[in-house]
Amino acid sequence: MRSFLYASGAAALVLLMAAAPAGAAEADQDFTVKDPRITESSGLAASHAHPGVYWTHNDQDAALIYGIDSRTGETVATLTMKGVGTPRDMEAISVGPDGNIYVGDIGDNLDGSWNHVWIYRFPEPKRLKDQTVQAKQYDVKYADGPRNAEALMVHPKTGRVYIASKNEDGGGLYAGPERLSSAGTNVFRRIGEVPWVTDGAFSPDGGTLVLRGYFTAKSYGWKDGRLAGGEGESVGAPFQGQAESVTYTKDGSALMFGSEGKESRVVRVGVETPSPESSGPAPSASGAATAPPGKGQGEEGNFTLGVVVLGLATALVIGGKRLLRRG
């Protein structure tokens, strides 16, 4: 009987450990960027090739891109772009459906001092290590003249690149050509009006565009290459001192909000599309509901399972002790 008791307790302990939340070791949760070189993280993009890894870069820096493991906050790859000029003001990053990483050197703090800006593109590396990557450089102009911008988004279905400009009185949403060309200038044309924007991201299914500013973030429906969400719906962005970036997790279950500064914090805000029968957070105009920052549905499920397993283990121990006393 003692053997049965010990075996049962050990089995329950194994189940409990498996069911317990992984905490800091779990991917796609809140994390702190630990690399001392990253002091102005200005863009954020979830890796398509490496689950739990996020690409970022400094504002106004050398041609360097950093891969951060969200489980630890540590840099697991530093990419040096080759084949491009010296960046002037890198502000945004996105991963396209073609497996390429797109970097927007699109900042212009004087709102029109540069008659063109640049986009860099290179294949997302298959291995996470420090390496040099061969990138293409694309010249970009706006059909209605130069402007400042911090948000670049690549649509996950069409691969088309969009830029949102930044202005105190509101900005514009610009669509690039169907395919970028390195042979000439790529003209981006205004297709909509947006508020003050510091970054943006498409949902993995391409049906929602999230745009964030310093104090708010809104989701908009997206249809036929246009905004379809009216004034947009708040997605409950966290307050951050220098709110600079946003991206969806690879599976679309959450938004990750980043900021500038040394040891900056990236905060997870869960999104969910509830079934008609379910109750819970009210859906946004885009059909997404928000959960508290840093707490996803998977954590709640693990907690519930952990409670059940703990109860089972307790019952086994108590029952075993009673059998021993009777013996």
pLDDT, tens digit, 9 for 90 and up, residues 2-52: 444 344 444 443 333 444 444 446 999 999 999 999 999 999 999 999 999
Joined together, the tokens standing for residue 89 give 């003001």
How would you label 71-101 residue by residue, b for 16+ Cβ within 10 Å and e otherwise? bebebbbebebeebeebbbbbbbbbbeeebb
pLDDT class of 315 with cuts at 50, 70, 90: very low
22 vs 83, more confident: 83
pLDDT class of 156 with cuts at 50, 70, 90: very high
70 vs 305, more confident: 70
pLDDT tens-place string over residues 233-249: 999 899 998 899 999 99
Does position 218 have pLDDT exceeding 60, yes or no? yes
Mean per-residue pLDDT of the chain:
81
Joined together, the tokens standing for residue 62 give 């050398």
Q: State residue 168's pLDDT score.
A: 77
By CB atoms closer than 10 A (0-12, 13-18, 19+), residue 269 is buried
User: 21 near 302, Cβ under 8 Å?
Assistant: yes
What's 4's DSSP letter?
Answer: H
Q: What is the mean pLDDT of residues 51-63?
A: 93
pLDDT class of 282 with cuts at 50, 70, 90: very low
82 vs 112, more confident: 82
Q: What is the mean pLDDT of residues 260-270?
A: 96
Residues 6+ apart with CB under 8 A from 183: none
Instruction: Tell how strand 233-234 and strand 217-223 pair up.
Output: antiparallel
pLDDT tens-place string over residues 96-150: 999 999 999 999 988 778 889 999 999 999 999 999 999 999 999 999 999 999 9
Q: State residue 273's pLDDT score.
A: 58
User: 120 near 135, Cβ under 8 Å?
Assistant: yes
Does position 321 have pLDDT exceeding 90, yes or no? no
